[in-house]
Amino acid sequence: MMENFIFALLGAGIVIGAVWMRSAFGTFRAQRPQDYQGTSPTFDIRKHLNGVIDCEGVIYGPTGRVTSRFVGEFNAVWQGEVGRMDEHFIYDNGNTQDREWTLRVDRNGQIKATAPDLIGVGDGWQSGSAVQLRYRIKLPESAGGHELDTIDWMYLAPSGAIVNRSQFRKFGLPVGELVATMRPRAATGDDRLAAE
């Protein structure tokens, strides 16, 4: 009887250790900005999240199925280390959403982010070809009004496109994920003339 108890404890310890190892080293949350230090191309949000940006993506629910698809148009303007990014989204169900970010970057690559739907201030880092941003967001009432802990990872592709992957958690449990691409809008001949 005692032998069975010892084997059960040993088995439970192995399972708990395996879950901890996977969480610490093998999941989305295990990434650190330092993991991307020295990778290229170098992602500078003042340069790559600037001007008019087209976005498209999907949102996955807690079961892993796509619950929403969207397109977006962003307009970001920087004055020195401070940028403002206005976002306009159109979802597959016809709903629209407007958001506004204020981003501050210091010379070490640390990012501070605020937005009306954030609770407190978001923190992030630029490191090599990646940007990480952590914040708590309050969803609109139409989406349940939940407060979610969010981790955004953005990766700069060699083409200049940005791949964004975000995870949303409540009470530490994953409840959703967003995957999107962002591309600077190609300037037309008229736009180039206006910019010169």
The residue behind tokens 């001949």 is 189
The residues pairing with 130 across neighbouring beta strands, listed in sequence order, are 127, 155
3-state SS of the chain: helix, strand, coil percent to 5? Answer: 25, 50, 30
For residue 84, what are the CA distances in angstroms to 90, 99, 102, 106? 20, 11, 5, 15
| Residue 87 tokens, joined | 């976002």
The residue behind tokens 């409540």 is 170
Question: 89-127 in b/e burial notation, b at 16+ Cβ within 10 A?
Answer: beeeeeeeeebebebebeeebebbbebeebeeebebbbb
189/79 Cα distance (integer angstroms)? 26
The residue behind tokens 């958001």 is 99
Residues in the chain: 196
Could you read off the pLDDT tens digit of each residue along the chain, which spans 196 residues? 667 666 566 665 565 554 455 544 446 668 898 999 999 999 999 999 999 999 999 999 999 999 999 999 999 999 999 999 999 999 999 999 999 999 999 999 999 999 999 999 999 999 999 999 999 999 888 778 899 999 999 999 999 999 999 999 999 999 999 999 999 998 544 443 333 3
147, 137 Cβ separation under 8 angstroms: yes
164/183 Cα distance (integer angstroms)? 11
pLDDT for residue 142: 79
pLDDT for residue 40: 93
180/23 Cα distance (integer angstroms)? 24
Instruction: Provide the whole-model pTM.
Output: 0.80
